[in-house]
Amino acid sequence: MSLKKTITEKAHALGFDAVGFAPPYISPDQQAELRDYIAEERHGGMTWMAETLERRADPKVLWPEVRSVIVLGTNRAPLSSTPPPADRGWISAYACNRDYHDVLKPRLKALGRWIVETWGGEAKAFVDTAPVMEVPLAARAGLGWQGKHTNLVSRTFGSALLLGEVFTTLEIAPDSPGEYLCGSCRRCLDACPTGAFLEPGKIDSRRCLSYLTIEHKGPIPLKMMECIGNRIYGCDDCTGVCPWNRFAPPAREEALRPRPELSAPPLADLARLDEDGFRTLFRGTPVKRIGFERFRRNLLAAIGNANDKALAKVAEAGLDDPSEIIRVTARWAVERLR
């Protein structure tokens, strides 16, 4: 069998749902878009984006020996943009079970080792913690196209693919790039509650609720606080409304299916958690990495939006907290509830 066919079959056997092959190439236009994103400071507090700019813009700067990129996709469907009731927390669907980095990375490494043992050369495995422009590479590998929401869209899996890559020194014939099929649809752009999209394919992360609830380390800007709604971690609005999602089958990976206790947990229950309880409830999930302080910040914002006077004491308890981030958010929540 051909090199591509055997790699594809091995990848499917390891649990990947989509496989494509691309050259280690990012177009000048895509590099320019990345540079503009950094120059205009739309990356906010994600300083590593600027620090790794040159490696991110060119795979051959990241690893000069790379000759081919194998892009792997893992389905995490179903997606939803329908919020739970205001008195319950809304956690992004991908974060309601095992951290996908922990699921994908061992499989990517296993595929890389198998390629080296079977076909020779060298290989390196990456998930999105590495400076790799995953979506352009996935689109070039034929897994789909970069949608107006800047994420990958697949004809088979909609906006539900989690991506990883294996870089190899082997020369592998690339697949045909994915065809752009968004057409005139702008559901993702219109769904964004903060207007974070400046235009199709151009986002200001500083206005993105995923950024504000996950990556942003300070107090959430007051003008954005109401937009948080009951989101505790992340936001699925733009990906959840993608019409291509209707073709996506449910995820076959049990570790990526939401745990019942993390699907719309009551805000009152979350408010009773101390730091140990937080670590226990969210052990092994992406939520744990934001830490207890940011979790409490997000929770207080959600409480302020809940219109539930019974939660006022929770907000008032944060007014004298040692953390300025908590005090600022608690003050806003108390004023909202009053």
CA distance 234 to 91: 6
CA distance 142 to 281: 38
CA proximity to 240, closest of 117, 80, 110: 80
Show the tokens assigned to 318: 């944060």
H-helix or E-strand containing 125?
strand 123-126
Show the tokens assigned to 168: 């190899």
Active-site residue (options: 58, 128, 175, 308): 128
CA distance 333 to 184: 39
**Cα-atom radius of gyration of the chain, to the nearest Å?**
21
274 among known catalytic residues: no
CA distance 216 to 205: 10
Angle, to 10 degrees, between the axis of helix 291-305 and the axis of helix 324-337? 10
CA proximity to 103, closest of 16, 212, 224: 16
Task: Give residue 184's identity as a one-letter amino acid code.
Answer: S
H-helix or E-strand containing 270?
helix 267-271
Task: Give residue 75's identity as a one-letter amino acid code.
Answer: N
Handedness of CA 286, 292, 296, 298 (dihedral sign): negative
Query: How far is CA 121 from each of CA 66, 106, 170, 302, rounded to the nearest angstrom?
Result: 10, 19, 6, 51
Active-site positions read: 128
